Amino acid sequence: MRFTALPSLLHLLPALSIFLDLQGVWGKPISHLSKCKLAQYPGPSNPSFETGDLTGWHVLSGTAFGNGSVTAQTSYWGGSFNQKGKYFVDSFVASGDPAIGQLRSDSFLASSYLSFLIGGGYDPVNLYVGLVRDSDGTLLKSQTGMNDEALVRVIWDTSAWAGQDVHLLVYDNNSGSSWAHINIDDVRTGCKALQDDNGLTFTVFGEANQPAAGSSSSCTLYAADPVRPQYHYSPYQGWINDPAGLIQWNGQHHLFSQFYPDAPLWGPMHWAHATSSDAVHWAERPVALYPPYPDNPQDTSGRWTGSAVKDAQNQLHILFTDFTDLALHPGSTEQVVSAATSSDGTSFLLYSQNPVIGTVPAGSSNGFRDPKVFQDPTDNSWKMVVGSGEGSQGKVHLYRSTDLVSWTYVGVLFEGDGSTGSMFECPNFFPLGDKWVLFYGGRSLGWFEVGSYNGTSFISETSGLLDAGPDSYAMQWYKDASGRNLAITWLGNWPTSKWPSRLNGWAGQQSITRELFIRPDGGLGSRPIPELVSLEQPASAKVWTQKKIGNTAVVLGQTTTARLRLTIDTASSTATSFSIHLFASSAESVLVSYNFAARLLTLDTSNAGYGQTGQWQPIVAPGSDGKLSLDIFLDHSTLEIFSSDGVVTSMRVYPRYQESQDIKIEASGQVVFDSISLTPLESSWC
Ligand SMILES: *[C@@H]1O[C@H](CO)[C@@H](O)[C@H](O)[C@H]1NC(C)=O
Ligand SMILES: *[C@@H]1O[C@H](CO)[C@@H](O)[C@H](O)[C@H]1NC(C)=O
Ligand SMILES: *[C@@H]1O[C@H](CO)[C@@H](O)[C@H](O)[C@H]1NC(C)=O
């Protein structure tokens, strides 16, 4: 897939820093709460701008800051600003994005901890909130924004400078016209930096905890990051999107990802590479493909999404979209299909005669990308689907080859009616049972079509959403050595601007490995692969059988890395509905509720923290025996809900508070659970 709105802030970045000193400490509020008492001094004056102006703050230069940049706005196009109190500072409001300037606080004595709310553009060099030592002007710490307006709390351990005179510097030297401003609010010091006024402990953002490329410290550093998934693949730093090149080859599962290592933003695409013997525990491998012009960060040319097969020489054979930045290379073809091979599964050689498809077929004005190759049993040839579209209608092109090198255009395999998007990205096509399945991305969502195929022509019979939640896109299918149809999907925050993990240096993750099947209603279903039990800690599991739950909430446990399985006897239940609270505390929760009469599952994140807010409502049906099972995976910032009929609902969530770990159930009436189990899951990186 591609990104149509290119970030304007591509530039060379300094190496992202590593905070080894904090490893294993973050995430344990108690040790912080004793350490915070060691040095507590008042912070800067007017710390939350509640005077409604810059009293106590000083404009050092420029026009980006002034009394007019103190604002009481409460919402923007993407939701609520989440300021504390009435006012906050936004360097956009007074004079727009291009204005630059510097604002400093009064001086104060550094405490053990300092925290503040930050929003605005991502540009570590030119846009940040910094802590400066008065005596020598040293910039001790700095934090840039996330390319979102909403404010997220950053917490710094400032104990190394405790008692020294310091000030905050709000620095906007980005004169661009997009994401060239910074927002700040509610500076807090000492123990107050760690807890809100009700005594809840803030989630720690802004301590990067990134391992070096290829290092073995992922286990502890990932564990120290409160939003880093512990058993899902995420990049050690930078950005990932589409999973690509999925294959089981010589026993190993290979997962490649669209990757930009230099910033947690989309950029010139690399192929990150990970391998696994069980499709659960992934190990980071060297980057497989690099963009063609890596020395020029302004050049967005890159190696876009593609697929992998085993060729006749038992080589790993990759076919991918070669994207050329036409602004820098006028006259080129923007999107062509190229190939690369590997005989050792580690180093990849670009095919000397690239591209293998250099001419875009007619009727493809919206794009031509994401080749997915499969073996076609109808004529024993290689076939390839490529995403495309023209006007308001997405489409999928079909190609044929016998040697993976020379490709013949067959025709248009499928054309949408416009309702699922004008450009179909990441198409996949394969037989499943006695049906053929096509799925693709469009309108920021994944769509499936189940139907019949005769070697050239596909007729869809049943269609629907691949995932009922908002955060799954660019799913890729592969058939493993045992013949299972598996899939992994990108879990980004694609429909929104909310990417809080950017504060920790990374963005994007892949789903757990799922097995695909045809649902009882003819749609495409997903279920977690059985190998995931290897993450379970059965000795710590809590199990209930024949458990009846009514109007009094039952707390099952406190955790954010776990598997919660429930089987409901709908025939014996008299309740109209029940609700499961996840990532819950007195301040916030993710609500998963079920309405028996409507068979409606509702995922509600209206009050779930820093992430996207909303409601998603798939129909989820009990089996013919009246039983309905939910298999729920929680992983720090990830939620995947698999229901027994094959519907999956995925979402990224970012609780504000460390206490938001409760898992509890309540009902309107009585619900009979045949069984409930809550099982902690281990990190797959340790
Ligand atoms: C902001 O307004 C206050 C009160 O009118 C004034 O004293 C101060 O100089 C102003 N600050 C700036 C930076 O304009
Ligand atoms: C501020 O930005 C300008 C224009 O990009 C650049 O030339 C200058 O070096 C920057 N200033 C600092 C102190 O980085
Ligand atoms: C496949 O179906 C299409 C549409 O019905 C038809 O035109 C074509 O001849 C069929 N091809 C084969 C190989 O049966």
Superfamily of domain 227-530: Glycosyl hydrolase domain; family 43 (2.115.10.20)
pLDDT at 158: 97
Quick: pLDDT tens for 382-422.
999 999 999 999 999 999 999 999 999 999 999 999 999 99
Mean pLDDT of the residues in the chain = 94
Report the alpha-carbon distance of residue 567 to residue 544 in Å, rounded: 11
C-alpha 97/C-alpha 665 separation (Å) is 46
Q: Which residues contact 507 (CB under 8 A, 6 or more apart)?
A: 235, 238, 239, 240, 264, 265, 492, 493, 499, 501
Task: State in Å: Cα 284 to ligand 2 middle.
Answer: 36
**Beta strands at 506-507 and 238-249: parallel, antiparallel or unpaired:** parallel
Beta-carbon neighbour count of residue 609 at 10 Å?
Answer: 26
The CA 201 to ligand 2 mean position distance, Å, reads 38
The predicted-structure confidence for 251-276, as pLDDT tens digits, reads as follows 999 999 999 999 999 999 999 999 99
Atom index in ligand 3 nearest the CA of residue 378 equals 13
pLDDT at 1: 60
- pLDDT of 7 higher than 80: no
Please tell me the predicted confidence (pLDDT) of residue 297.
83
- Report which bound ligand comes closest to the CA of 458: 3
Prior bond of 268 cis (ω within 30°): no
* Sequence letter at residue 150: A
Q: What pLDDT, on a 0 to 100 scale, did the predictor assign at position 61?
A: 98
Whether the per-residue pLDDT at 22 is higher than 70: the answer is no
Residue 23 has pLDDT above 90, yes or no: no
Q: How far is CA 682 from the centre of its chain?
A: 20
Asked if residue 16 has pLDDT above 60, the reply is: no
More confident site: 23 or 116: 116
Tokens of 20: 């080894």
Q: What is the pLDDT of residue 12?
A: 27
Ligand number with the minimum distance to the CA of 70:
1
Is it the case that residue 610 has pLDDT exceeding 50?
Answer: yes
pLDDT at 30 over 80: no
pLDDT for position 495: 85
CA-nearest residue for atom 10, ligand 1, is 67
Nearest Cα to 103, choosing from 151, 39, 49, 50? 49
Residue 288 neighbours by CB distance under 10 Å: 27
CB distance 102 to ligand 2 below 6 Å: no
Is the CB of 419 within 6 Å of ligand 3? Answer: no
Atom of ligand 1 nearest to the CA of 57: 13
* pLDDT tens-digit map of 149-163: 999 999 999 999 999
CATH fold of 7-193 reads Jelly Rolls (2.60.120)
- Which pTM does this prediction carry? 0.94
The pLDDT, as a whole number, for residue 494 is: 85
Residue 337 has pLDDT above 50, yes or no: yes
Q: Whose CA is nearest to atom 10 of ligand 2?
A: 173
| Per-residue pLDDT at 591 exceeds 80 | yes
Which of 49, 51, 55, 102 is the pocket-test mutation for ligand 1 (most atoms within 8 Å of CB)? 55
Alpha helices for 139-239 (secondary structure H):
218-223
Taking residues 568-595, report their average pLDDT: 98
Residue 173 CB less than 6 A away from ligand 2 = yes
* Residue 97 binned pLDDT confidence (cut-offs 50, 70, 90): very high
Is 70 exceeded by the pLDDT of residue 363?
yes
Ligand 3 pocket member 79 (CB < 6 A): no
Task: From 173, 175, 177, give the residue whose CB has the most ligand 2 atoms within 8 Å, as the site to mutate.
Answer: 173
Residue 517 Cα to ligand 3 middle (Å) = 26
Give percent of the chain with pLDDT exceeding 70: 95
- Nearest atom in ligand 2 to 125's CA: 14
Query: How buried is residue 638: exposed, middle or buried, by Cβ count under 10 Å (0-12/13-18/19+)?
Result: buried
Distance, CA of 373 to CA of 314 (rounded, Å): 16
CB atoms within 10 A of CB 656: 24
pLDDT at 680 over 50: yes
CATH classification of 536-680 is 2.60.120.560, yes or no? yes
Residues having CB closer than 6 A to ligand 1 are 53-54, 59, 66-67
Mean pLDDT of the 78-85 span:
96
Overall average pLDDT of the 598-605 stretch: 98
DSSP letters, 290-348, are --S-TT-TT---EEEEEEEEE-TTS-EEEEEEEE--TTTSTTS-SEEEEEEEESSSS--
Is 80 exceeded by the pLDDT of residue 527?
yes
Distance from the CA of 22 to the center of ligand 2, in angstroms?
A: 32
According to DSSP, residue 20 is labeled G
In testing the pocket of ligand 3, which one of 454, 458, 459, 460 has its CB within 8 Å of the most ligand atoms?
Answer: 454
Specify the range with the lowest mean pLDDT, choosing from 11-25, 532-546, 549-563.
Answer: 11-25
Ligand 3 center to 206 CA (angstroms): 58
CB of 454 closer than 6 A to ligand 3?
A: yes
Q: Specify which residues 662 forms β-bridges with.
A: 558, 584
Q: Where in the chain is the domain with CATH 2.60.120.560?
A: 536-680
What's the CA gap between 228 and 650, in Å, rounded?
A: 16
For residue 349, the model assigns a pLDDT of 98
Indicate whether residue 378 lines ligand 3 (CB < 6 A).
no
* Residue 651: partners with Cβ closer than 8 Å, 6 or more residues away: 469, 470, 471, 590, 603, 605, 611, 612, 616, 638, 639
Residue ranges, CATH 2.60.120.260, the chain: 7-193
Cα 568 to ligand 2 centre (Å): 61
Which ligand approaches the C-alpha of residue 379 most closely? 3
As a whole-number percent, the residues of the chain with pLDDT over 90 amount to 92
Lowest mean pLDDT among 20-24, 315-319, 359-363: 20-24
Q: Is the CB of 142 under 6 A from ligand 2?
A: no
Could you tell me where in the chain the CATH 2.115.10.20 domains are found?
227-530
Given a cut of 70, whether residue 682 has pLDDT beyond it is: yes
Quick one: pLDDT band at residue 31, thresholds 50, 70, 90?
low
Q: 55 in ligand 3 pocket by Cβ < 6 Å?
A: no
